[in-house]
Amino acid sequence: MSSLWVIVPAYNEQARLGDTLAALAAQTDRDFTLLVVDNGSTDGTVRVARSFGATVLREPEKGVGCAVDTGFRHAIARGAVHLARTDADCLPAPGWVAAARQALSGADFAYGRIVARRDEHGPAGRAFFRVLVGAAAFFGRVRPAHRGVEFLAPYRMHAGNNMAITAELYLACGGMPRRPSPTDRAFLNRVRRTTPAIVHSRHMVVANSTRRIRAYGLVGTAKWYLDRGSGPLTADPR
């Protein structure tokens, strides 16, 4: 098995997972082990994953944090040195794995750039997504809770669906919080308390699903990305 593993948590993603796995199959760097962590799906998610030759691991405890943590620890126990994660509704660019590998050659944690999927919204929806990401990044940088003396690196927003980390750091920081989404900020702060070796790779590009805009509306989506939670809505935008 490769020393680099790609972890894809999935829950009832039969309709989208095939596109994600096809994007991973089209990577310029194919020297990785693919692991799909099924978080209790009731549709054909597992069947789709196996049709692409992915190893499938079941995690019955609900929550994306549980699926990611179980997947990462499973990979580490089997010799993974580097780990990358994307989500089952995302499309990594062809050079994503190669860029993640390169980034981790000089850092402990790497994150990349997210853009909106072009098949889910038109120009207006994609522009709104860009504004949301920028606003959330600014909010995260100025938020007092993210600027404490305990942090070894400045806050830079990352998306959980576009990240890579060394196995050593994952274990040292305590891993992904085992809870439902959102988990990204809490995990990043665990990383920031543990190492300053964090880099942004502009070559790690992932096309992100914008279905939350359709499910939550503009205001609800803005609240979500600005760390205000989902309110009366479920954290799962389907």
What is the average per-residue pLDDT within 30-55? 96
- Taking alpha carbons only, the member of 111, 157, 163 closest to residue 134 is 157
Name the pLDDT band for 129 (thresholds 50, 70, 90). confident
- Taking alpha carbons only, the member of 66, 65, 75, 85 closest to residue 165 is 85
Q: Lowest-confidence range among 86-90, 198-202, 206-210?
A: 206-210
What is the span of the domain harbouring residue 213? 4-225
The predicted pLDDT at position 235 comes to: 58
Structural domain includes residue 237: no
SS3 104: coil
Structural domain includes residue 235: no
The predicted pLDDT at position 227 comes to: 56
As a whole-number percent, the residues of the chain with pLDDT over 90 amount to: 66
Structural domain includes residue 236: no
Structural domain includes residue 238: no
Structural domain includes residue 128: yes
User: How many domains would you assign to the chain?
Assistant: 1
- Taking alpha carbons only, the member of 160, 29, 5, 190 closest to residue 81 is 5
CATH of the domain at 57: 3.90.550.10
State which H helix or E strand residue 157 sits in. none
Query: Cα separation of 210 and 92, whole Å?
Result: 15
Q: Lowest-confidence range among 89-93, 97-101, 220-224?
A: 220-224
Structural domain includes residue 182: yes
What is the average per-residue pLDDT within 133-147? 78
The predicted pLDDT at position 221 comes to: 60
Contact 35, 6 (CB under 8 A): yes
Name the pLDDT band for 158 (thresholds 50, 70, 90). confident
Residue 199 has pLDDT above 70, yes or no: yes
Characterize 105-125 residue by residue with b for buried, 16 or more Cβ atoms within 10 angstroms of its Cβ, and e for exposed: eebbbbbbbbbbbeebbeeeb
Q: Lowest-confidence range among 74-88, 90-104, 146-160, 191-205?
A: 146-160
Angle at 228 between CA 121 and CA 206, to 5 degrees: 40
pLDDT tens readout for residues 110-124: 999 999 898 887 888
* Average pLDDT value for the chain: 89
Peptide bond into 182 cis (omega under 30): yes
Residue 180 has pLDDT above 90, yes or no: no
The most confident of 7-21, 139-153, 209-223, by mean pLDDT: 7-21
Q: Lowest-confidence range among 44-58, 84-98, 126-140?
A: 126-140
Query: Cα separation of 102 and 95, whole Å?
Result: 11
pTM (predicted TM-score): 0.88
Query: Cα separation of 119 and 126, whole Å?
Result: 10
Structural domain includes residue 213: yes
Residue 136 has pLDDT above 60, yes or no: yes
Structural domain includes residue 119: yes
